[in-house]
Structure formats: C-alpha cells, structure tokens
Amino acid sequence: MFESCRAHRCKGPEHGLSPSQERFVRRLLVLLASLLALAAWTTIPVASAAPPTDTSELQEAVTAQGILEHLQALQAIADANGGTRASGTPGYDASVDYVVSRLEAAGYEVTIQEFEFPFFQALSPGELERVSPDSEVYTAEADFFTMEYSGSGDVTAPIQATNDVVIPPGAEAGTSNSGCEDADFAGFVEGNIALIQRGTCTFEEKIQNAIEAGASAVIIFNEGQEGRTDAFIGTLGRPFDIPVVFTSFAVGEELYDLSLEGEVIVRVALTKRERKDIAVMLNFDMVGSPNYVRFVYDADAGPAGSGNVEDVFLDYFASVGLPVEPTPFDGRSDYGPFIAVGIPAGGLFTGAEEIKTEEQEAIYGGMAGIAYDPCYHQACDTIENVNLEVLDQMADAAAHAVMTFAMTTSAVGGTAQGHAYGHFKGPYARM
C-alpha cells in the first residue's frame, strides 16, 4: 500500500480534525499524480532479474502545478463539508469519489478496498476541571485538547507530577525528561492522575509508563519554550484505554505549582472513542514544509525490507545531487500501524515543529532558529502554507519510488525475481 502525499502533517485544531485525519488535506496527491501519469503504459511484464527501473518520464509527468490542482480540489471539498475529510465523514467520501473519478478518467479500472485501521474521533469536546483548591473549569480546544487515541472515561482524582519536570523550562526543546523512564514514577500512587511535561521521548512512551505506574488518567502539558507553549492535538500513536489530554504550558505550570503546595484534585472526562497481500507502505506525510529540510525515514527501527525502501530514496537523491538527512520512525505518522505488524515502510518528510539549525540553513536555505513549519498545528496551516519548490523535489522522489515498487515488489525484499505487472489502459496523462 502506498500512503501518499500531503504538504503539512497537521492542520490547526480550529478546523475540528484530529492530527492524523488532518493529514488528508494533501494525502493521495503525489500518488494520484503518479498513477495518472503511469497510464502511459500497457500491461508491462517485469523481467525476472528485476533490472533498475527508468522513472525519469514519470518524474517529468508529476509536477508541482499538477499536485496543486489536486490540493485546490481537496480544499474545496473540505470547505463544502465543514472543514473535514476525516474517515467516516461526508468529506472523506467526497475525497474518495474525487480520487476515483480522476483515476477512471485516466483509464484505470478502480477497486475501492476496505480495511480496518485504528481510528479516533472525539464525539464532543472533553472536560478538564480543577476541583480543588479553588475550582476552575478549563476551556476545551483552547486550554487543552483530547489527545488522538485517548481512551474514554470520567476520572476525578489527585494529580501527581512525575520526576524530571523542568520549570522554568530549559533553554532548548527536549530539556524535560518527564515520564520517559520508569524512575520518573517512583512513589506514584495507583489511581492518581499523572501530570507529565512534554519533552525527550514520545507521547506514547510517556503514556505507557504512566499506565504501568497505575495512572487512571494523564495530563501532558507543553514544555514551555518559545513555540512550545500552546495546547494542541497531539497523537499517542495507538489506542490507549485511559483518558489523556494535552494542555498549554500555562495550565500545566499552574497545576504543577499548586501540587507542590498540597493536594490538587482534577476531573478529566472524555467521550468514548471510535475504532474503525500489502508489500510496502510509502509515507509522504508533510513534504512541503515552508522552512524545509529534506528528510528520509531511517530504516533502523523498521521491519525487514525497510532498508531497501530507504536505499531507493537515498540513491535517488544522490543521483540528482540533493542532500538529505535521516529522520527516525518515531510513531508520529501513518506508518505506525503498518510497521507494528511487520510491513516494510519508508518515506519522506520535510519537518514539523522542530527548529531548523544553522547547519541545516547552510545546506537547505530557509531560516535557522524557527520551526520547519511555523504553522504546524495552527489555523494558518492552509493551502497557502506550502513550499512548492521542495514539494516538486519530493514529488519526483515519490514518483520514482512509486514506479520502482509498482514494477516489482521484489525491490522491497531484495530478491532476484519480480512478480508485478502493470495493468493500465488509456491515454498518457501529463499532470
């Protein structure tokens, strides 16, 4: 399965989408353009020796302007459907219809394949309230957000901060190690609500450690440096069974300071969540960040075969003289459920909320000291927040990989024989 392109990982929560579902803003674009261009060929058997695939003609056919056309169409679908294309919504169905219609117009015989996947949708805003001391009700989607893949529940209990909370925050992002180690929960009272600061490790690791320590719910608060103060919809990477919310630094700092003075009782109430032969998963989530770096997913933590996917991208970028850097499989994108069940994966990424370094500025341009995508998780993450130059570069790389693995899936496992056939008909579609 090819998980395809979008220019920015998460739109702002103001549009009512969870982070992974926000990604559908530009999802399927590079793949759609690539498949439309592939319509030039007719039933091509692959040689058993699996020779290198010439992808130059497909790269030329996939253009930034063609992708922008699809972006505009999907944006129009969102505008007509309450700002969302999340799975299970009319906007999603309209998006599927759009992709199908374009492929059929190019001559493809399209089959819509149904499959199960972890899906989260908050049915209503959560509730977060400080019961004592001095009762205060926090504002959903401003002071806090329900984290994607949070469990449901209504919990009222004392909060208990982990070790390694850093207040005032350190000068650099990732100074806090709160919740990243078992030792951070030393002395934790079973049934309490864990108060954890963002930083160093993934949200998933923090929640798993909290559950093992006996937490009944978790409040994660932003770390506190510039650009890391607001609440936003973070993702846990997989479903959990306890309520989890993410608050602004200000809310977290307030709760932490109060907890140093005495017992703080908090109520967290969240609505019930909904859940709804693959050769390789190609992940092109965020490939047009305005202050970009060209990242290729590092296969070290991926299933067998992922290294060959990485090599396809590294060889491609080397051939066109474009520098790249590795980025880890950190569980923050759509590859997560695929690699969890052993499906080889790889892909491209141009950066989210992390800060560009001076060394990266010297290589890629842009501006050091600010985020790769300053609109990450913000309302300004719209169609206007796309760097078309890097989108074009990454689209060519994506087209190369799509063509390579479409012609022979043996390129994933590194075997000598290929079994793929292209079944295409109709005119050449130049996008």
* Amino acid code (one letter) for 155: V
Task: Determine the pLDDT at residue 422.
Answer: 29
Q: Average pLDDT of 330-341? A: 78
Q: What is the average per-residue pLDDT within 32-48?
A: 47
CATH numeric code, 2-117+278-422 = 3.40.630.10
Mean pLDDT of the region 353-374: 95
* DSSP annotation of 212: H
Residue 166: DSSP 8-state:
-
Rg (CA), the chain: 23
The C-alpha atoms of residue 184 and residue 265 are separated, in whole angstroms, by: 21
In 3-state terms, what secondary structure has residue 305?
Answer: coil
Higher pLDDT, residue 28 or 224: 224
pLDDT of residue 337: 75
Q: Is-contact 351 387, C-beta < 8 A?
A: no
pLDDT by residue (tens digit) across 138-164? 998 899 998 888 888 889 999 999 999
User: What number is the average pLDDT over the span 397-426?
Assistant: 57
Q: Is the pLDDT of residue 51 over 70?
A: no
pLDDT at 54: 85
Task: Give the mean model confidence (pLDDT) for residues 161-182.
Answer: 93
Report domain extents, the chain. 2-117+278-422, 127-270
pLDDT of residue 383: 86
- Tell me how far CA of residue 91 lies from CA of 80, 137, 162, 270, in angstroms: 8, 33, 41, 25
- pLDDT tens column, 285-310: 899 999 999 999 998 888 888 888 99
Write down how long the chain is.
Answer: 431
Residue 34: what are its φ and ψ, rounded to 5°? -65, -45
CB 246 within 8 A of CB 233: yes
Task: Output helix, strand, coil percentages for the chain, rounded to the nearest 5.
Answer: 30, 15, 50
Q: What is the average pLDDT value for the chain, to the nearest integer?
A: 80
User: Which alpha helices (DSSP H) does 134-268 contain, by range?
Assistant: 203-212, 249-261
Per residue in 83-134, pLDDT tens?
888 777 888 889 999 999 999 998 999 988 776 666 665 656 788 999 999 8
User: Class of the 127-270 domain?
Assistant: alpha beta
How many whole angstroms separate alpha carbon 266 and alpha carbon 366?
43
Taking residues 53-63, report their average pLDDT. Answer: 86
- 44 pLDDT more than 70: no
